[in-house]
């Protein structure tokens, strides 16, 4: 008798599960049906947790996989190598010209707590922003990644209203991904998709050294 009861319970479970999945499918299908607009979006990855730039590069690689060209500006990256950019170089995808798969500019001053020179950082930020503006006006770029842009606004190197205006004026089909902590209200209001990554725990605070291939 016990096997018979178990079989009936299993049948009941299977039926209930099938009903739940049918309801879920109907909800997903309805959401897909409502989403008919095709346009470029602004994705903002913020918060104090690890993984914002990593996620953004994953989106850039996804765009490349679909045959798109991309633009990349890294605003506080120093001169040290990092795995994401090194990989693009190894594949011959990174460059400055109109035919590069990934148009690239690095501010190359490093973190502001290293340089400690506001005027020099401001000048470097202006040059990086000029490169970003060219990318944001280039309809041949399907995606533009503005890595650590939020720091430029937080420290007053760039004007938030100017940045927002350039992003709004971009080609209609162009997607933009912005990363960085402490995103200001103007970016939060502008973005179509906002993800905030929380800092629950980090190995570095436990004394574990940053590792190539994992952290940079």
The per-residue pLDDT for 198 is 95
**Per residue in 125-180, pLDDT tens?**
999 999 999 999 999 999 999 999 999 999 999 999 999 999 999 999 999 999 99
Sign of CA dihedral 183, 189, 195, 197: positive
The per-residue pLDDT for 125 is 94
The per-residue pLDDT for 110 is 55
Share of the chain above pLDDT 70, in %: 87
For the chain, give the number of residues: 216
Q: CA-CA distances (angstroms) from residue 133 to 89, 144, 165?
A: 23, 10, 10
Share of the chain above pLDDT 90, in %: 65
The per-residue pLDDT for 115 is 55
For the cut 90, the answer to whether the pLDDT of residue 24 exceeds it is: no
Sign of CA dihedral 123, 160, 140, 82: positive
Query: Which residues lie closer than 8 Å to 12 by C-beta, 6 or more apart?
Result: none
**∠ CA 11-12-16, rounded to 5°:** 120
For the cut 90, the answer to whether the pLDDT of residue 10 exceeds it is: no
Residue 42's CB is within 10 A of a number of other CB atoms, namely 21
Label residue 183 by pLDDT band (50, 70, 90): very high
Label residue 209 by pLDDT band (50, 70, 90): very high
Paired residues of 175 in beta bridges: 143
The per-residue pLDDT for 76 is 83
Label residue 8 by pLDDT band (50, 70, 90): low
The per-residue pLDDT for 3 is 59
The per-residue pLDDT for 147 is 97
**Per residue in 48-97, pLDDT tens?**
999 999 999 999 999 999 999 999 999 986 556 789 999 999 999 998 77
The per-residue pLDDT for 176 is 98
Helix H or strand E encompassing 74? strand 69-74
How far apart (Å, rounded) are the C-alpha atoms in residues 190 and 163? Answer: 10
Tell me the mean pLDDT in the region 173-194.
97
């Amino acid at each position: 008798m016990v096997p018979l009861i178990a079989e009936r319970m299993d049948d009941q479970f299977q039926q209930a599960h099938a009903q739940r999945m049918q309801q879920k499918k109907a909800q997903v299908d309805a959401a897909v049906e409502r989403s008919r607009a095709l346009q470029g979006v602004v994705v903002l990855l913020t918060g104090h947790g690890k993984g914002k730039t990593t996620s953004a590069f994953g989106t850039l690689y996804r765009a490349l996989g679909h045959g798109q060209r991309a633009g990349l500006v890294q605003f506080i990256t120093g001169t040290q190598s990092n795995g994401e950019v090194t990989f693009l170089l190894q594949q011959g995808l990174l460059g400055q010209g109109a035919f590069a798969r990934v148009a690239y500019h690095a501010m190359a001053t490093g973190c502001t707590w290293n340089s400690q020179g506001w005027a020099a950082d401001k000048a470097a930020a202006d040059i990086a922003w000029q490169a970003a503006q060219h990318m944001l006006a280039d309809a041949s770029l399907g995606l533009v990644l503005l890595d650590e842009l939020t720091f430029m606004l937080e420290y007053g190197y760039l004007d938030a209203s100017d940045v927002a205006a350039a992003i709004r004026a971009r080609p209609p089909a162009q997607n933009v991904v912005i990363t960085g902590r402490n995103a200001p209200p103007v970016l939060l209001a502008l973005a179509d998709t906002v993800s905030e990554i929380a800092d629950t725990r980090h190995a570095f605070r436990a004394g574990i050294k940053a590792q190539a291939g994992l952290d940079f």
